[in-house]
Structure 1
Amino acid sequence: MKTNPLRLFALLLMAGLGACDAQPPSPQGFAGLGSRSAEFASVTRDRSFSFPLDHGAHPDYRIEWWYLTANLEDQQGRSWGVQWTLFRNALRPAADQPGWNNPNLWMGHAAITGPYGHRHAETFARGGIGQAGVSPMPFKAWIDDWHLSGQLPGQANLTELQVSASGSGFRYRLQLSSDKPLVLQGDKGFSQKSGQGQASYYYSQPFLQAQGTLELDGNSYVVKGQAWLDREWSSQPLAADQQGWDWFSLHLSSGEKLMLFQLRHADGRHYRAGTWISATGDSEVLSEQDMRIRPLQLSRVAGRKLPTRWALSIPSKQLELTVEALQEQAWMPTRFPYWEGPIRFRGSHQGLGYLEMTGY
């Protein structure tokens, strides 16, 4: 879910969810991600992943995303965050055919968050005309002139990548590398999102090391740090009464990684899950009973109140954290608006990460 983690691929559902209807709409979850669509393939357990083919698109499924976040530091010791996201939404299941009959809609989000505020960009494309797409061998995901691509052919673990994007007054270009394996989230890549069984296929490359340059209002900054790539696809990843989520991806100073999320139901219940990832890449599934997630402070952001300071606890790992946003105003005023930005944490462990909050 980056990110996590359910990753707003949701946002492309504007094609079908905005249809005129005199009747009040039935509950469909945040951005329509809880709506059913029987014509698309379902997510089931015990799927066998195949890399590098699964780095590409899955046209039998309705929604899909490639989601990169990076926690960076410049030469003056200042903290920055970068986001790069590509979403695919299918109007109907079909092969990725050329021409205007291609059923895929694409959307890209990019952002820089740092000591001078938060900048974002959003772009849209139709499939089939070369404006956007994903190829697995060699890996390349693009929309217009934004790119996330592999430097080596046939990379199973996405260990050598480069990423670039630009918007009004900003641009970035980063080199990414890792010597660690991919991590299958949930039950061998089957990531359940509700007690009713909604789920996605979900894997990550959370061990990327990043270096490159950011440009903001004509000034250039040399940066380095850590990055996290999430991949998910599904046809109905939310239950109809789930109104949004809070998603954490954490780089611990010990070298371990942690992904946690909670999906908020309309009646005040939460569905929680996560993954504890060792410094060598071994993963352990976390359930709702393993964790506590509690907001500590609300901030006024874009005319609404959002939790920008949190308490996270996993007693079995002796983990007790206080998490706070580096920039409270990291608001993405996109087609379906949400909050996405870098965080820092302290307590039993120290480190940096990313937080995504939707449905507020």
Structure 2
Amino acid sequence: MENRMRRLFVLLLIGVLALAVAVSRRAPTSQTTPRLDVAEALAAPLDGFERAFAPRPFTFPRDHGAHPTFQTEWWYYTGNLFAENGDRFGFQLTFFRRALSPEPPATGSAWHTNQIYFAHFALTDRERERFQAEERWARGAVGLAGADAPPYRVWLDDWRVEAIAEDADQVRLFATHADGTTLDLVAEAQKPLVLHGEAGWSPKDDAPGNASYYYSFTRMQAEGRIVRPDASAVAVRGTAWMDHEFSTSALGEDQVGWDWFSIQLDDGWELMYFQLRRADGTVDTVSGGTLIAPDGTTTMLARDDVQLEVEATWESPRTGALYPAAWRLRVPAQALDVRITPVLNDQELDVSVQYWEGAVDVRGTHGGTPVQGVGYVELTGYAQSMRGRF
């Protein structure tokens, strides 16, 4: 969901305006570093930006690129990878764009811009019980960061996703941590892209215009290599998921965070589901998702179509946040009943704003037949409310 990224942009703004490029890394033994309160700076006015009031036509490959008339945008890649010896990895590589004003600055300087970019690269290494994440930011000027199409590419410094041809259905992903940990993959879509919500229009609140334009490649075949901190290279294969979303909106007045699920089953089906949580613990009525069949046809899911139960929790030793750590997810009309468990409990990103995002395993039944699969889950608003921070 688009909403999950606004929490990230305040520190990005501060860093860019100071002409700084900051990188923070957290391995399992690192200490929490001081951070600024982002709430006040995130309360930016929405006036003058384009809003998502209704469905719009998409034009590809152009719409894979940036939409600077909207305030917020992100390109989001996650995946589960396996080595021949059975080693298991999860990755997250995300790029975020934030407009500081509706119009670019009236100046001829190449350094001046109203666009800032922010990125996260996180890697889960199951066998070594290691999760690490870094964040970077830069201004969208002089080639430091940006997003184009065609040909499709999005980048920040040397972190990048770029089309092998012109479109986004076959891409190369590259990112490296300060300790040398590296992700280098080629990912190719195995299905057509999916437009979520109503033809790609995904409301996040009842307020007019408080919605996003949202689409995904829900099953990409990924192959390449991972380099561990000890410089050992591991050949990997697996599946990836790509989300792209843009909007000018924010959480509703009573919303504090969200839970987002992407699931890839071994029977060829995928599921995207998000729920927006209110302060009283209830789930907002605009929550929902998409079920994708093996042939690419889709079924839109409303909140009441999905039953989600938390079966375990995990408390972060750094933030004290109590996160869900196992779920039972059911879609009765589709005879889908699965349990979802994290690959590692500790997949919390302790960066500008703390949240949990990690690789998961999936097992259960679909249509009465046993299924298993992999996925990614994102959990926000558990370490602190997201309201007022984006």
TM-score (normalizing by structure 2): 0.83
**Alpha carbons of structure 1 residues 227 and 15: separation in structure 2 relative to 1, 3 Å:** closer
**1:160 maps onto 2:160 in alignment:** no
* Corresponding residue SS for 1:327: coil
2:96 is matched with 87
CA distance in 1, matches of 2:305, 2:322: 28
| Structure 1 pair 341–57 and aligned structure 2 pair: CA distance change class (3 A) | same
**Residue of structure 2 equivalent to 1:353:** 375
Q: Distance in 1 between matches of 2:142 and 2:40?
A: 26
Distance 2:216 2:311 in 1: 28
- Contact 1:34 1:239 survives alignment (8 Å): no
Match of 1:240 in 2: 253
Shift in Å, 1:192? 1.3
Residue 14 of structure 1, CA deviation: 4.2
Q: Which residue of 2 aligns with 1:25?
A: none
- Given that residues 310 and 322 in structure 1 are in contact (C-alpha distance below 8 angstroms), is that contact kept between their aligned partners in structure 2? yes
Aligned to 2:184: 173
Q: State the match for 1:190 in structure 2.
A: 201
Structure 1 residue aligned with 2:306, among 286, 291, 298? Answer: 291
Residues 143 and 326 of structure 1: CA distance in aligned 2, closer, same or farther (over 3 Å):
same
Does structure 2 retain, via aligned residues, the 8 Å contact 1:71–1:353?
Answer: yes
CA contact (8 A) 2:305 2:333 kept: yes
Which residue of structure 1 lines up, in the alignment, with residue 34 of structure 2?
none
* Aligned residues of 1:191 and 1:202 also touching (Cα < 8 A): yes
Q: Deviations over 1:75-112 (max 9, x none)?
A: 11122101100000110013599723210111110011
Identical columns (%): 35
Q: Which amino acid aligns with 2:58?
A: F
One-letter amino acid matched to 1:310: W
Task: Give runs of ≥4 in structure 1 deviating > 3 Å.
Answer: 13-17, 29-36, 95-98
Amino acid at match of 1:350: Q
Of residues 344-353 and 246-255 in structure 1, the stretch that sits farther from structure 2 once superposed is 344-353
Pair 1:123-2:136 in alignment: yes
1:199 matched residue in structure 2:
211
| TM-aligned CA distance change 1:32 to 1:318, over 3 Å | farther
> 2:272 & 2:340 partners in 1: Cα distance?
13
Q: Distance in 2 between matches of 1:32 and 1:256?
A: 41
Aligned-partner SS, 1:270? coil
Quote the Cα distance in structure 2 between the aligned partners of 1:9 and 1:51.
25
Tell me the distance in 2 between the aligned counterparts of 1:102 and 1:247.
Answer: 32
Gaps of at least 5 residues in structure 2 are: 15-37, 366-370, 383-390
Secondary structure of 2:162's counterpart equals strand
8 Å CA contact 2:12–2:138 kept in 1: the answer is: no
Distance apart, 1:16 and its partner CA? 7.5
Query: In the TM superposition, what whole-angstrom CA distance separates every residue of 1:107-159 from its partner, at most 9, and x where no partner exists?
Result: 11001102221011111101122100011111111000011000002x2xx22
Do the aligned partners of residues 262 and 32 (structure 1) sit closer, same or farther apart at CA in structure 2, a change above 3 Å counting? farther
Match of 1:257 in 2: 270
**Partner AA of 2:354 in structure 1:** P
Alignment match, 1:317: 334
**Secondary structure in 2 matching 1:222:** strand
Give the length in aligned residue pairs: 344
Cα distance in 1 for residues equivalent to 2:234 and 2:315 = 29
Aligned AA (2:133):
H
2:40 and 2:216 map into 1 onto residues whose CA distance is 23
Q: Distance in 2 between matches of 1:31 and 1:200?
A: 23
Alpha-carbon spacing, 1:32–1:75, altered in 2? closer, same or farther (3 Å) = farther
2:232 counterpart residue number? 219
Distance 2:135 2:325 in 1: 23
Cα deviation 1:181-228 (Å, max 9, x = unaligned): 110011100011124452111000112100010011122111100000
Contact 1:65–1:88 (CA<8 Å) still a contact in 2?
yes
The alpha carbon displacement at 1:34 in A equals 8.4
Q: What amino acid sits opposite 1:175 in the alignment?
A: V
Letter in 2 for 1:299: W
Q: Unpaired runs of 5+ in structure 1?
A: 18-28
Task: Say which of 282, 288, 301 aligns to 2:297.
Answer: 282
The match for 1:22 is none
Q: What is the RMSD of the two structures over their aligned residues, measured on CA atoms? A: 2.2
Q: Report SS of the residue matched to 1:60.
A: coil
Listed as ranges, the matches of 1:75-114 within 5 Å are 75-94=84-103, 99-114=110-125
**How far off is 1:39 after superposition?**
1.8
Contact 1:290 1:314 in 2 (8 A): yes
CA distance in structure 2 between the partners assigned to 1:98 and 1:66 by the alignment = 27
The amino acid across from 1:172 in the alignment is: L
